[in-house]
Amino acid sequence: DIQLTQSPSSLSASVGDRVAITCRASQSVTKYLNWYQQQPGRAPKVLIYGASTLQSGVPSRFSGSGSGTDFTLTISNLQPEDFATYYCQQSYSIPRTFGQGTRLEMK
């Protein structure tokens, strides 16, 4: 199985800040890396697929980069609704695997 390690596990930030969350894979997943946002009590929502493609309807302050084993989700100009938990997921191989999550909290 491909292991995904996210850092940091938690992060405090303020509205208007720019933050970055990284995801490292235990082996190359090429560009098959997706990012999700999950609000408490809700289903995950895809933000970025294919490492850097913004899902339709997702604000442009979200961006993704990387390939191979190292990936980054960047959120610019944080908004109140962005405080949530973020997960990376690889869809390069079976079984699909998720990172452990990064909790983004308001400072």
Partner 1 sequence: QVQLQESGPALVKPSETLSLTCTVSGDSISTYYWSWVRQPPGKGLEWIGYIYYNGGTNYSPSLKGRVTMSVDTSRNQFSLNLTAVTAADTAVYFCARERRGRGDCDYWGQGTLVTVSS
- Which residues contribute to the site for partner 1 (CB under 8 A)? 1, 32, 34, 36, 38, 42-46, 49-50, 55, 87, 89-92, 94-101
Cα–chain center distance at 27: 18
Beta strand extents in 14-61 (DSSP E only): 19-25, 33-38, 45-49, 53-54
> How many whole angstroms separate alpha carbon 107 and alpha carbon 99?
23
Shortest Å, Cβ 105 to partner 1: 15
Nearer to partner 1, 75 or 88 (CB): 88
Shortest Å, Cβ 91 to partner 1: 2
Token readout for 5 is: 């390690």
Nearer to partner 1, 62 or 90 (CB): 90
